[in-house]
Structure 1
Amino acid sequence: MLRLFSSGSYLFESLSNPPFIKALQAFTHATYSTICLAQPKAEKEDPAEKPNNATEVLSKWGCSNDDLMRIYTRCPALRNADATKIQSKLDLLSVMGIGTSDLVKIVNCRPRFFQSRINQSFNERIAYLLSLFETNDLLNKAIVRNPSLLMCDDRHNIEAIFSLYEELGVNKRDLIQMIVLRPTILSRTSFDDEKMEYISRIGLSRDSKMHKYVVTLIGVSRVETISEKVANLQRFGLSEDEVFCLLGKSPHILTLSTNKVQRNMTFILATMKLDAKAILKCPFLLCVNMDTVLKPRVLLAMKVHEIDGEQQIKRPPILRVLRMTEEKFVNSFIKCHEKQVANELMEFYRGTKKVKRLAASSKKSVCTGFPF
């Protein structure tokens, strides 16, 4: 107890000693300075430079009012999103060379794009994708068509898909072109025995220009969907072998809905009075738009035949007629007549375009998942 008291008396006496106080102050100041120098100085943020909301960030990035309207229409929740996170993603897109028009397409394709975590391992992912696509332009086109590539981390799966298509006769260069055309190839490709049978029955050699289209379309399609579309064409009198021959000539028919094929085939058979096998020579008849091209132009041809039998559109050039631009078609088949006849034909032509399908306004669109 006495020892403790004596220590306390010594401390009290030391604190009352001016030289000791000066030494203690010097030590405290030196220690504080050392700690402050060891810590990094926080940069003061300028409140004027900090973005306030998503609209301000997107506007400064270059989005016009029309672009903002399209983006917010597709993703209304983006108005209240964190402006800092939006800015960080826009900075990454700027480095890649993606502009405002591409951003609108990306958000239209993936409305929740700004909620995704593309910042994680971004440089490594882009470096790997660039090694596959070889050029920045092709990579940007693929990303705009399928923004999910920016979030794809499964490199082994991508390499396996490239190897699979190479075994089926689609080389790397052709596959990259197909990925730009069909962006979901990397995520939806699957092959089984039935699909391999479909590819063999179409009968295209690996050197054929259509081979890559057939293989990639069948690779991303469902077996049930392919069977349904083949059966739909068989209902109009084509054999199964003829249908597969048709798919070899125009693989794009696999992407058409059964409803569109039914409408076009019904018009071809009932109104144009052509045989069902006419589409084997002219597959474009199934792909052309019914309401704006096929029906108005064919009906106008019939009208011209009623007025002047020598000006009828014959069957051989029908494909060329349907592929004409609107201006060229009007000049070739309407304005070539006298003014009175030309006005009558123009009024009839415009009237055929205004005719709407029965109950089209009340038709419900049923989403069945992936279109083909």
Structure 2
Amino acid sequence: MNTKFIALSSFHRLICTPIYFNSLPINLFHPSWYIFSPRAFLCTALACFETLSQELSKLDIGNDLNEPKDSTDVLRKWGCSESDIFKIFSGRKSIEAMGVVKLQSKLNTLSDIGINPSELVKIINCRPHFLSNRIKCLDERLEFFRELFGSREEILKAIVKNPSLLTYDLQGKMRPIVEMYERVGVSKMELSSMLVTRPTVIPRSTLDEKKMSLIRTGVTQDCKMFKHVTVLFAISRSETIHKKIAYLEKFVM
């Protein structure tokens, strides 16, 4: 009995001494309980362990061990292989020095879009400062992409090909450009394929009356080449267009 009493007393001190266990019902471990009633002690111990478990979950003890320590750890936990991490960091100290919280937020956003580690490597190779740019109006932007590209697969293909689609001004640039093309007869479906093959469509497109008159002179709206000619003229400067036309008139026609 003395041996059991010493063991149980040691167990009592082990469980109830730490400061974060102060809220536990320590008085339930009164020695008289388990000396004269082992069953009462066991019931009390089970109740204490249940309370202990609840307190630990509130304190969230141990979770800090799973927190990433640096950018490398963040990328690793996101699913990047060592090869992916090497490619992402290669010559890009700004990413390596990026804060843990900021990088986690960026990667969570990319996960919501559906971008995986291998696609991120392709994006970084294309746009080295991509992770430094802020993605605004994400939900509205994705809804706009669904209207423009249709399927999720096509949206991802367009973003990987032209990551700037996530950073262009949605209301001030992207919507007006798409509406401009629709007014001259280029549908969203036709334009979506051009956005994948020609990443400069959004930032460089302008259509004035001079350009439109040149387009109408060469092709009609029902021509299969109409969308290609329209986009090509829209992203080109007027001076460049006139030089090319002059060249064709001189050497081809």
TM-score (norm 2): 0.67
Is 2:221 the counterpart of 1:206?
yes
- The structure with the greater share of residues assigned to helix is 2
Q: What displacement does 1:42 show?
A: 7.7
Does structure 2 conserve the Cα–Cα contact (< 8 Å) formed by 1:62 and 1:100?
yes
Does structure 1 conserve the Cα–Cα contact (< 8 Å) formed by 2:168 and 2:174?
no
Note closer, same or farther for the CA distance 1:224–1:49 as it changes in structure 2 (3 Å cut). farther
CA distance in 2, matches of 1:45, 1:233: 73
1:137 partner amino acid: E
Does structure 2 conserve the Cα–Cα contact (< 8 Å) formed by 1:54 and 1:80?
yes
Secondary structure class of the residue paired with 2:64: coil
Does structure 2 conserve the Cα–Cα contact (< 8 Å) formed by 1:75 and 1:107?
no
Is 2:243 the counterpart of 1:224?
no
Secondary structure class of the residue paired with 1:148: helix
Note closer, same or farther for the CA distance 1:79–1:216 as it changes in structure 2 (3 Å cut). same
Which residue in 1 is equivalent to 2:178?
Answer: 162
Which residue of 104, 129, 151 maps to 2:121? Answer: 104
For structure 1, which runs of at least 5 residues remain unmatched after alignment? Answer: 1-40, 243-372
Q: What displacement does 1:48 show?
A: 1.9
Q: What displacement does 1:82 show?
A: 0.9
Does structure 1 conserve the Cα–Cα contact (< 8 Å) formed by 2:148 and 2:189?
no
Q: What displacement does 1:208 show?
A: 2.1
Aligned residues: 196
Q: What displacement does 1:44 show?
A: 5.9
Which residue in 2 is equivalent to 1:89?
Answer: 106
Task: Report which structure shows greater RCO (CA 8 Å, sep ≥6).
Answer: 2
Secondary structure class of the residue paired with 1:47: helix
1:87 partner amino acid: Q
Which residue in 1 is equivalent to 2:145?
Answer: 129
CA distance in 1, matches of 2:67, 2:82: 21
Q: What displacement does 1:230 show?
A: 4.6
CA deviation map 1:134-162 (0-9, x unaligned): 22112112212222222344326433322
Is 2:158 the counterpart of 1:145?
no
Which residue in 1 is equivalent to 2:207?
Answer: 191
CA distance in 2, matches of 1:100, 1:231: 48
Cα RMSD of the aligned pairs, angstroms, is 2.6
Secondary structure class of the residue paired with 1:90: helix
Which residue in 1 is equivalent to 2:251?
Answer: 238
Which residue in 1 is equivalent to 2:40?
Answer: none
CA deviation map 1:14-65 (0-9, x unaligned): xxxxxxxxxxxxxxxxxxxxxxxxxxx7866722221122222222323333
Higher Rg of the two aligned structures = 1
TM-score (norm 1): 0.47
1:173 partner amino acid: M
Which residue in 1 is equivalent to 2:191?
Answer: 175
For structure 2, which runs of at least 5 residues remain unmatched after alignment? Answer: 1-57
CA distance in 2, matches of 1:143, 1:44: 40
How does 1:1-372 map onto structure 2 within 5 Å? 46-73=63-90, 75-118=92-135, 120-155=136-171, 157-201=173-217, 203-230=218-245, 238-239=251-252, 242=253
Which residue in 2 is equivalent to 1:287?
Answer: none
2:117 partner amino acid: T
CA distance in 2, matches of 1:122, 1:43: 32
CA distance in 2, matches of 1:124, 1:204: 36
CA distance in 1, matches of 2:76, 2:244: 46
